[in-house]
Structure 1
Amino acid sequence: MEHNPKLVSSEVAALWGAFMQNSMSYCTLSHFSKVNEDADITPIIQHALNNCKFVIKEVTKIFDKENHALPIGFTKDDVNLEAGRLYSDLFGLRYIKYMAATGTAAAAAFLEVLARNDVRELFSKTSQMFMQLYNDACDLLLKKGAFIRSPTIPPMEKAEYLQDDSFLSGLIGRHRPLTVVEMAHISKNTETNSIGRTFIAGFSQTAQLPEVRKYMERGTEIAAKHETVFRDILVKDGVPLPSSWDSTISQSIDAPFSDKLMMFHTDSLNVIGVAGYGGAIGASLRKDLGGHYTRLIAEIIQYAEDGAKLMIKHRWLEQPPQNVDREALRNRST
């Protein structure tokens, strides 16, 4: 017998999130496409736009087939293509590289909880598409000499086992040198805060509502502080600091994006930040690093909660699909 299973909750979550993220990214990339003047970057931007368009189309197809309501997401009303340049072309390329890596990881992570063949095929293809986009962006950044590498260390002379638990270090006092795994996470989280700081600084400059501008200013300060924390760890360990991201922002005050899109994008960066810190905690054996990450996660969560309240206030936050409230139905029938 032919089996036609309905979408399960994890599949709805994956599809709903993919639609939201890609409709937002499509608007963002449309602005980059309009202002871009670097001919080398043009094909990369078009590649990224095509990826987003593909995901939106396929999710729409599946939801329509299941009579499932499509998210509102983001549309042409959330991007002003007549607005002038806000970020440099090189920053746009770095943004694509960063978001392609995030999209690849998210699609791959969801595969574990997907059962239906069509949904698995979509996310398998999505992961491959964004991985190719990431590699193309990396190749171009390397060609331009603009790829920001992690710190280097001398080659290890021999492999050996640990002799005692002093390797774990304490929260205070002298700490043993960073491992390459810990350095990798510090570099990744520094990059996350650097791109977030630049992006949100542009948002604070062009947001329409004063309370949104104030929220973005606060986010810029938080990202700068977190970036400083990570750089200080590397400095104290005598590790060469990686180059800074291109943080060039124009003087334009014309908003390319709606306040709704900017708030959602900031929330997405918050989610990526918390996930990055969480992964770093599990991979960091030095206790002082765990202390830093735990403290910084709490700050991001509080910032994200305040952002959610602001979005709810202005009816910008879409409610994700949720289970039926049986108690409410029972009370309604009595």
Structure 2
Amino acid sequence: MPEKSAITSSELGVLWLTYQEKTMILRMLEYFIEKAEDEKAKNIMKNLHGEIATYVGIITEILQNEGAVVPVGYTAQDVNKEVPKLYDNGFDIMFLRLLKQISTGLHALNITMTYREDIVLMLTELTAITQKYYNLCTQYLLEKGLLVKSPHVSMPRSVEFVKDKHYLTGLSVSPFSEKRSLNTVEVAQLHHSIESNITGLQMITGFAQCANEKEVKTFFNEGAELAKGIVKELTEILLENDTQAPQTAGGNATRSTIPPFSDKLMMYCTSLFCSFSMGSGSLGTAFSLRNDLPPKMTIFLKDTFEYAHKGAKIMIKNGWMEEPPQTEERNHLLK
């Protein structure tokens, strides 16, 4: 019996996806480390870069031992560390914190699709690293005043149960009354979505400034407008509830128009953020009990999906979309 069983199709897919994401993060970290002016932020990013690079090596070794080709992913050709700063005022750690949110979800999902002990262990270790750096980023941003916490509410003094079906309609008591106040689960989802879209808006604004291809530049500008619309509508919902929406003065794009990243890398990064937005948006829709919220969230999901689909077409047109490993073409083989 062999020491390790052959990897399954799902494990091959998980390794491929993880390789793509981690090599992209490495390239972006290399630029942000080069431009970092704050020593603490630089150390966070340098330490993370070293840990991620180790696991990229582990994935490479597993694939090679299985006789599988190693993906291209993102290489030194996709980053230029010598150009001026594209972002300022804490964006590097704000962006990294959001990336760690995405990685948390990806690792949690991927670990449920793997069986071989060494791959499960690798994903478990990556999850621990992700959680560690997410916390480091959060505490750093709080210390610098660049992260706004969700609002405080009065603590509940008794357990309450829903007594009327109008709770689900979003109304207080009757169809003619005002909307009921948001519950804390709904506030949490709205706050998170606004916070994520603000960082995404800052990111894609920088991308739009420096993209080489005109079609890509237009695509990023459309993404910025989409993020603005989501932030605006969700902020209005919170303000109607007399609840403060998150805002930050940090993370702005500079005036630079010289690209630190290839269009290919920026398109993939945007695609990753769209996938995260659709996943977290679906979760928010599922846990919102005031039924005026899910329709809005569903429209955002539809718009984000259509935007991501348009991006995929651009990537395919330019030869930037690396194809995941395929199953056997049985019909072709039989012929």
TM, length-normalised to structure 1: 0.95
> Which of the residues 306, 309, 313 maps onto 1:309?
313
Evaluate the alpha carbon distance shift between residue 127 and residue 158 of structure 1 in structure 2; reply closer, same or farther with a 3 A threshold. same
- Which amino acid in 2 is paired with 1:209? E
Q: Does 1:199 align with 2:203?
A: yes
Cα deviation for residue 143 of structure 1 reads 2.2
> Quick check: 1:32–1:89 contact (8 Å CA) kept in 2?
no
Residue 40 of structure 1 aligns to a residue whose secondary structure is: helix
Any residues of structure 2 matched to 1:1-334 within 5 Å, and which? 1-2=1-2, 4-169=4-169, 174-244=178-248, 246-330=250-334, 333=335
Cα deviation for residue 329 of structure 1 reads 2.0
Q: For the residues of structure 2 that align with 1:157 and 1:4, how far apart are their CA atoms? A: 55
Residue 6 of structure 2 aligns to a residue whose secondary structure is: coil
Q: For the residues of structure 2 that align with 1:132 and 1:215, how far apart are their CA atoms? A: 34
- Which amino acid in 1 is paired with 2:60? T
- Which amino acid in 1 is paired with 2:86? L
Cα deviation for residue 157 of structure 1 reads 2.4
Q: For the residues of structure 1 that align with 2:217 and 2:19, how far apart are their CA atoms? A: 26
- Which amino acid in 2 is paired with 1:157? R
- CA displacement 1:205-258 (0-9 Å, x = unmatched): 000011110000000000110111110110111112222362411111110000
Q: For the residues of structure 1 that align with 2:89 and 2:73, how far apart are their CA atoms? A: 26
Gaps of 5+ in 1: none
Cα deviation for residue 146 of structure 1 reads 2.5
> Quick check: 1:311–1:317 contact (8 Å CA) kept in 2?
yes
Cα deviation for residue 2 of structure 1 reads 4.9
Q: For the residues of structure 2 that align with 1:108 and 1:177, how far apart are their CA atoms? A: 33
Cα deviation for residue 100 of structure 1 reads 1.6
> Quick check: 2:89–2:252 contact (8 Å CA) kept in 1?
no
Cα deviation for residue 76 of structure 1 reads 0.4
Residue 112 of structure 2 aligns to a residue whose secondary structure is: helix
Cα deviation for residue 183 of structure 1 reads 0.9
Q: For the residues of structure 2 that align with 1:272 and 1:235, how far apart are their CA atoms? A: 25
Gaps of 5+ in 2: none
Runs (4+) of structure 1 exceeding 4 A deviation are 170-173
Q: For the residues of structure 2 that align with 1:50 and 1:279, how far apart are their CA atoms? A: 33
Number of residue pairs matched by the alignment: 331
Cα deviation for residue 57 of structure 1 reads 0.9
Q: For the residues of structure 2 that align with 1:101 and 1:222, how far apart are their CA atoms? A: 21
- CA displacement 1:12-57 (0-9 Å, x = unmatched): 1211111000101111111101111111211111122123212211
Cα deviation for residue 89 of structure 1 reads 4.7
> Quick check: 2:149–2:246 contact (8 Å CA) kept in 1?
yes
Q: For the residues of structure 1 that align with 2:248 and 2:237, how far apart are their CA atoms? A: 16
> Quick check: 1:80–1:255 contact (8 Å CA) kept in 2?
yes
Taking every aligned residue pair, what percent have the same amino acid on both sides?
Answer: 28
Q: For the residues of structure 2 that align with 1:268 and 1:241, how far apart are their CA atoms? A: 25
> Quick check: 1:205–1:213 contact (8 Å CA) kept in 2?
yes
Alpha-carbon RMSD: 1.6
Q: For the residues of structure 2 that align with 1:4 and 1:21, how far apart are their CA atoms? A: 26
- CA displacement 1:247-280 (0-9 Å, x = unmatched): 4111111100000001111101100100010111
> Quick check: 2:193–2:281 contact (8 Å CA) kept in 1?
yes
Evaluate the alpha carbon distance shift between residue 311 and residue 17 of structure 1 in structure 2; reply closer, same or farther with a 3 A threshold. same
Q: For the residues of structure 2 that align with 1:32 and 1:106, how far apart are their CA atoms? A: 23
- CA displacement 1:97-128 (0-9 Å, x = unmatched): 22122212321222122110010010000001
Cα deviation for residue 140 of structure 1 reads 1.7
Residue 254 of structure 1 aligns to a residue whose secondary structure is: coil
Q: For the residues of structure 2 that align with 1:106 and 1:57, how far apart are their CA atoms? A: 19
